[in-house]
Chain A
Amino acid sequence: MGRYLINRIILILPTLLLVMLAAFAISRFIPGDKAESMMALQGINPDSPVADKEYKRLYTELGLDLPTFYFSIVPEFYPDNANAIHNLKLKNQIRELLQQKCRYDDIQKFLAAKETLVSELKGSSDSLTYKLLNTVMYEPNVAALNTFVENYKNTTALTSLASWPSYITGFEQMKSNIAGCYRPKWVWHGVKNQFHRWFSGAIMGDFGISIKDGRPALQKISAALGWTSVLVFLNILLTVLIAVPSGLLAGYRAGGAFDRWSGILWLALYSVPVFWLASMLIVFFTLETGTEWYRIFPVPGTWHTADGAGLIAFLFQNAGQLALPVICLVANDIAQLSRMVRDNVVNQIFRPYVLQAKSKGLSSGEVLIKHILPNALTPVITSIGGRIPASLSGALVVEIIFNIPGMGRLLYDSIRSADWNVVFGVVVVICLFTIVFLLITDMVYALVNPRIRLS
C-alpha cells in the first residue's frame, strides 16, 4: 500500500509540472501588454511625460524584462533577450523590423540614427519636415522606408541636416544585411527568467495580484474554492443518495418496469444540457416575473451570509438558493452512476454467495443490503472520483448562471476583465484539486479492494 501510494504521488509531480508549463505557455500567448494594462489601472495617461518612466518601472517590477524561459532558441540575428527592451514604442518597431529579418545590431544603429534625426527634424522649421516626421518616426516597413529614402535622398532641405547621412547609411546597412538564410541560436538564460519567477511563486501559492482590485490572487481563489467544494460535495452526496438506491432496485429487478422507466428518465436528464436546465428552472421557478404558485425559489444571487455561523447553519439558511444549482448538477450525474450500480448488481445477483445467503433464510432486502451492496459499490468509488472533472465543469456553468462566487464564476469574471494572474491561478489550483481528489479516490479504492494492491 505504501509503495503504491508513493508511486502514485511520484506520478503526480510531472503531471502538475506539465499543467503549470501549459498554463504559463498560454499566459504568454495572450495578446496585450501587461505593463500597459497595469499603467491603465494605476491611472497613468500613456501620453503624459512620465509615461515612459512609469512604463519602465512597471515593466521591470512585473519581471517582464526577464527572458521568458530557461533557454531560448532564436534566429541568429535576434537579440539574446528581446524582452529587455522596455520602451513601448521602440519595442513594437524593433519587433516589426526583426520580423523583416533585419539584424538586431543594425536595427540598434539605425534607430539611434533615427532618434537624432527626429530631434533635428522637430527642431527645424521647414514645412517639408512636418510631412516627413511621421514617416521617419512610425514607418516600420523596410520596403516603404526604402522608397522614402530613394525619394528624398538628395532633397536640399534634408541634406542640410547633420544627421541625414548617418540615417541613410544606417538604413542602407540594415537593408543590405537582411538575413536570407539563418541559423538557430541557442541562448541559456539561467534561473533569472519569467517562468522560474512565476513557478517558484506559484509553488508557494503566490500567483501575483489581481489587476481588478489589487488583492492577492490566491486570496480570491481560496475564497472561491470553498464555494465550489461545497457545490461539488453536495452534488456528489445527493447523486450517490439517489443513484445508488435507484441502481440497486433497477438491478435487483432487472428488466422490470422500474428498471426501464428509471433508465429512460435518467438518460433523458443526462441528455439535458446543464445550462438549459438551469435556464428553464430560473425562468419558470424563481420569483421575479410572476406570482404563480410554482415560483417558489428566490432570485439567484441573494445570499444570507451570517458571520460566525458554521457551514451547516449556512447551508440551511441558503437551502433555497442552493437547491436549484444542486438540482441542475445532480440531474446530469445520476444516469452514469445508477447505470453502473445496476450493472454491478446484475453481475452479482447470480453469484453463489447470493444463493447461499438466500438459502440461509435472509430476506431479499437483507441480501441486497448486506451482501450485494458492498460488492456492487466498490467500483463506484473510482467512478465518483472520475466524475470530479466533469462535475467541476458543470459547476462552472451553474456558478455563472446562478451567480455563485465559486471558481467558475471567478474564472469567468477574470477572463471578462482580463485579470490574467487570477485566471491562471484558477486553472492551476483547479487542476491540482482534481488530481489530488483522483488520488484520494484511488487510495480509498485500493483500501477497499485488496486485489488492487498487487498491481
Chain B
Amino acid sequence: MIKKRKYGPVFFAKLTIAIFCFVAAFAPFMAGDSPIVCLSQGSLSFPALSKAESDRESSGIISHCLIPLIPYHPQNIDKQNQSGTGPFSKQNVASLRQRHWLGTDNLGRDVASGLIHGTSTAMKIGLLSVFVSLLLGIPAGMAAGYYKNHRIRFNIPGLLTASFLLLTAGFYLIYELLIFRNLPALFCFVFILLITVCAGISKIFLRKRGFRTFYFPLDTLLVKIIELRKSLPGLFILLAMTCIFTVPSVWNVVLIISLLSWTEFARYARAETLAVSEENYIKSAAMLGISDAVILFRHILPNILPTIAVIACFGMAGAVMTESALSFLGIGLPVEEVTWGKMMAEGRNMRSWWLVVFPGLAIFILILCLSILADHYSRTIRTLPAAN
C-alpha cells in the first residue's frame, strides 16, 4: 500500500493545470502593451479589456496606470531588439522592466508574451475539442454498451419509413443550411420533428404483429467504426481534411480533431458501460420499469465519470499535441493566432534555442501533467480496456 501524500505528483499536476488555465483565461492582463487599469483625468478606464485598437492607445494625461507583467503584446514589434535577441544576450531596452526575459524572435516580438497568449490558444483548442469529442463519443459509446447487439429491435416497414424520413430530412437540411442558407433554426426544428416522427412510426410498426423483427447490431457497428479509425494514420487524414476550408479558423481545427478523436472516447465509454450495466442495481432498475434514458443518465453516467475523466485528460493532451503540430507545420490555423508551435517552427528555422526550448517546455509540462492526472484517475477504475 502506497502511502497517500498530500503534496504528491497529482497535487502538483492539478496545480500546474490550474495555473495553465489561469494564464489562458487572463492572458491579456498578463502580457500586453495596454495598461490593465488606467487613471486619467480622474476617471478609471480598463484599456486592456477593450478590443478596439484606438482604445488601447489611450490619449490624454495618465496619472497612474497598472501595466501588465510583460509589457509587450505578442504582435508588437520591438525594432531595437530584432533578429532574435537571446534571453541572456545584451538587450537594447530602457529598463529592467522592459527587458525581454525570454528573448525575442526574428521580427522582435517578445517570446514570453507569445508564450502566454499561446497558452490561451492551446487551452482553447484543447478544451473545445475535448468537449465536442465528449458530446459525440460518450452518447455513442454508452448507447453501444447499454443496448449491445440485441436490445434495439426493428422490422422492415419501420426501418424503411424511418430511413426514408431521415434521408428526406437530411436532404432538406443539407440544401437549406449549406446551399440556400436560410432559416437554419426552422430547419433544425423540422429535422428534430422528423426524427421524432420516425421514432413514433417505428414504434407503431413494432407493435404490429406479422412483421419479422430483427436486432440492430449497434455494438458491432460502433466497434467496426472504432477499428476503422484506429487503422488510419491520423495526421495524414487531418492534413488532408484541413484543405477543405478556405479560411483557416480555430473552429475548423477543433471540428477535425474531434471528428478524428471521438472514437477513442466512445471506446472507453462503451467498455465501461458494458461493465456497469452488468451490475445488479442496473438490472433491478430495468426490472422496476425505469426508462432507459433515466437508467443511462442517472445510474450509468455517474458511474462512468472516472473513465470520462481519464479519457478527457488523454484527449486534451492529444488535442494540444495535434494543435501544436499543426501550427508547427503552418497548416490549418489562422496566421494572426499566436501559438507555441508557430514559435517553435520559427526557432527551428532561425536556430535560436530560446524560441524552441520555452514553447516546447510549455507543451511538455502540460502534456506530462495531463498524463499524470489521467494515470491517477485510471487507478480508480476497475475495468479499463487494455492499452495496446
Contact = CB atoms under 8 A, between A and B. Distances in A.
Contacts of B231: 15, 389, 431, 434-435, 438
A397 B236 contact: no
A396 B241 CA distance: 15
Contacts of B160: none
B215 interface: no
B43 interface: no
Interface string B157-190: 0000000000110011001000111000000000
A109 B225 CA distance: 48
B306 interface: no
B175 A397 contact: no
Contacts of B371: 267, 270-271
A283 B351 contact: yes
Interface in B204-262: 228, 230-237, 239-244, 246
A31 B246 contact: yes
Contacts of B321: 273
Interface string B345-358: 10110011100110
B175 A75 contact: yes
Contacts of B325: 273-275, 397
Nearest to A387: B388
B368 A268 contact: yes
Interface stretch (A22-30, A133-141, A218-226, A237-245): A22-30
Interface residues of B, number: 48
Interface string A416-451: 000010011011001100110010000000000000
B228 A15 contact: yes
A18 B352 CA distance: 45
Contacts of B351: 282-283, 288-289
A250 interface: no
B357 A280 contact: yes
B17 interface: no
Contacts of A30: 243-244
Contact of B171 (A73, A279, A388, A389): A73
B243 A393 contact: no
A396 B331 CA distance: 13
B24 interface: no
A30 B363 CA distance: 32
Given A275-B324, A386-B230, A430-B233, A23 B175 contact: no
Contacts of A427: 236-237, 240
Nearest to A74: B175
Given A184-B168, A397-B329, A389 B244 contact: no
A26 B243 contact: yes
Interface string A1-32: 00000000000000100110001001001110
Chain B CB count within 10 A is highest, among A30, A73, A393, for A393
B356 A276 contact: yes
A284 interface: yes
A362 interface: no
Contacts of A430: 233, 236
Contact of B232 (A19, A184, A270, A279): A19
Contact of B356 (A280, A340, A411, A412): A280
Contacts of A382: 388
Contacts of B387: 336, 340
Contact of B236 (A99, A274, A396): A396
A280 B348 CA distance: 8
A332 B240 CA distance: 24
Interface residues of A, number: 59
Q: Interface SS of chain B: helix, strand, loop or mixed? A: helix
Nearest to A95: B179
Contacts of A26: 240-241, 243-244
A243 B11 CA distance: 30
B241 to A, nearest CB: 6
B344 interface: yes
A268 B328 CA distance: 21
Nearest to A423: B240
Given A75-B175, A412-B329, A99 B233 contact: no
Given A271-B364, A411-B240, A392 B233 contact: yes
A279 B364 contact: no
B25 to A, nearest CB: 24
A424 B232 contact: no
Contacts of A15: 228, 231
A19 B351 CA distance: 40
Nearest to B227: A15
A412 B240 CA distance: 9
Nearest to A288: B351
Contact of A283 (B230, B328, B341, B356): B356
Contacts of A434: 231-233
Contacts of A271: 364, 367-368, 371
A184 B236 contact: no
B360 interface: yes
Contacts of B329: 397, 400, 412
Given A75-B175, A389-B230, A434-B232, A383 B388 contact: yes
A234 interface: no
Contacts of B367: 271, 273
Contacts of B234: 389-390, 393
A101 interface: yes
A276 B363 contact: yes
A273 B364 contact: yes
Contacts of A31: 244, 246
Contacts of B239: 396, 411-412, 415
Contacts of A202: none
A353 B231 CA distance: 36
A401 interface: yes
Contacts of A390: 233-234
Contacts of B175: 75
A246 B367 CA distance: 24
A272 interface: yes
A267 B370 CA distance: 12
Point out which of B168, B179, B236, B331 has the most chain A C-beta atoms below 10 A from its C-beta: B236
Nearest to A98: B179
Interface in A347-389: 382-383, 386, 388-389
Contacts of A420: 243
Given A273-B364, A336-B387, A423-B240, A284 B353 contact: yes
B252 to A, nearest CB: 12
Interface string B51-80: 000000000000000000000000000000
Given A26-B240, A99-B180, A382-B388, 6 more contacts: A15-B231, A99-B181, A271-B367, A280-B357, A288-B351, A397-B235
12 contacts: A26-B243, A271-B368, A273-B363, A275-B324, A276-B360, A279-B348, A280-B353, A280-B357, A397-B325, A424-B240, A427-B236, A427-B237
The 3 closest A-B pairs by CB, nearest first: A276-B360, A393-B235, A392-B233
Interface of B: 167-168, 171-172, 175, 179-181, 228, 230-237, 239-244, 246, 321, 324-325, 328-329, 331, 341, 344-345, 347-348, 351-353, 356-357, 360, 363-364, 367-368, 371, 387-388
